[in-house]
Structure 1
């Protein structure tokens, strides 16, 4: 099974000069396999957000290497990181970040528009098919303000899939939902993972959600630590 992303010796420090240098990540080695469904857990302040930003190519590490789909990001500039992010990555957040001035359909198509500056008829058809897949075809032309919280998050999930990413990074994707909506959103991500082979990494504080993932990756004080049950989960199952 191929790896969609590997991190080797990733360190991240802030400050320096007149400010004290603070290292947040201390040599992270991690691999995510094609089709994996993993949870990233750890206490607040453990470095999860920093690690997710590096994996999302939103920040560069201070040292170490990140390889996505076989391509190293070492020495990459903003333009290359943006291109890699658009081609390989999708994002889901705790707060859906849908734009109220646009319809659900237009929100779903935004990653393609941002990457290419236009949306084709085929893109529109794909967006409509995705909304139909999650039971929202009847709401395609509604503003997000007309949708429930669970419906808004389903729109956010299919928006993340619009550009056919290899890896979806989900930051507390059910944290702002009621129990039923959270279960439905999680089931949807699971179904997409199983049917489409998209890799998911889900950051969560919910141990019940983490326990249902294929693998738990635990971060404490900027380091991967061993789980009492499974040991250090830096590498995917064989």
Structure 2
């Protein structure tokens, strides 16, 4: 369990540049950010502001150019690929706008495959955990269906179950409802909130949708690679997404 008095995520003067030795383009300009256990925060900003780059750095998918990034108290700078993979696997969950489900596998298999890849083989506990998660997201009767047999909203529910398979402390969601109709988006968002409240899972949700951001507890605005606003928010729970 995460220490409630210690930031689950901490960024200190984080910078990210792309390019070569001659020409460098800096995308993130000294980001300072802390997320505490159980927070439900929205990361917003215009296209090109650096939101995806920041999420990739937090998710340990890309390394920062300078600064520090700590996850659950662990300094990530200097870790080798194996250590980064292990930290990512035991701490982080990912939900994307596109589900990236493997078409040849059932919903149940898609949920536990990342855990199997991490541990090297499938176990009865993995299969049981996958079935339990699918039931939780309302897909108990669809566990053996393949992605092509599921609607877009159902596929996103499978992706959410997959993200929770290893009991992550922090879930990074990149436009998780951006590809869905309003009703399904509302149901998916309600599911994320339920997980946040029942398991004290921390969420950082990247979104372009101000209606979704308005239902989060904290709003972080990124513009031109810098945080220009970071404030608590009173969620407008009664409004549809």
Q: Tell me which of 84, 104, 107 is aligned to 1:104.
A: 107
- Superposition pairs of residues 6-25 of structure 1, within 5 angstroms: 6-18=10-22, 20-25=23-28
Which residue in 2 is equivalent to 1:82?
Answer: 85
Q: TM-score, normalised to structure 1's length?
A: 0.94
- d(CA) in 1 for partners of 2:230, 2:13: 20
Which residue in 2 is equivalent to 1:50?
Answer: 53
Which residue in 1 is equivalent to 2:238?
Answer: none
- Superposition pairs of residues 95-134 of structure 1, within 5 angstroms: 95-134=98-137
Decide whether the 8 Å contact of 2:68 with 2:75 is kept in 1.
Answer: yes
Decide whether the 8 Å contact of 2:219 with 2:231 is kept in 1.
Answer: no
Calculate the aligned-residue CA RMSD, in Å: 1.3
- d(CA) in 1 for partners of 2:166, 2:122: 11
- Pairwise CA distance, 1:209: 0.2
Q: Indicate how the Cα distance of structure 1 residues 229 and 192 shifts in structure 2: closer, same or farther if over 3 A, else same.
A: closer
Q: How many aligned residue pairs are there?
A: 229
- Pairwise CA distance, 1:163: 0.5
Q: Tell me which of 11, 33, 42 is aligned to 2:36.
A: 33
Which residue in 2 is equivalent to 1:147?
Answer: 150
- Pairwise CA distance, 1:227: 5.9
| Runs of 4+ residues deviating >2 angstroms | 226-230
Q: Which segments of 5 or more consecutive residues in structure 1 lack a partner in the other structure?
A: 231-238
- d(CA) in 1 for partners of 2:165, 2:44: 27
- d(CA) in 2 for partners of 1:11, 1:26: 5
CA deviation profile, 1:37-70 (whole Å, cap 9, x unmatched): 0000000000011100000000110000111111
Decide whether the 8 Å contact of 2:29 with 2:226 is kept in 1.
Answer: yes
- Pairwise CA distance, 1:93: 0.2
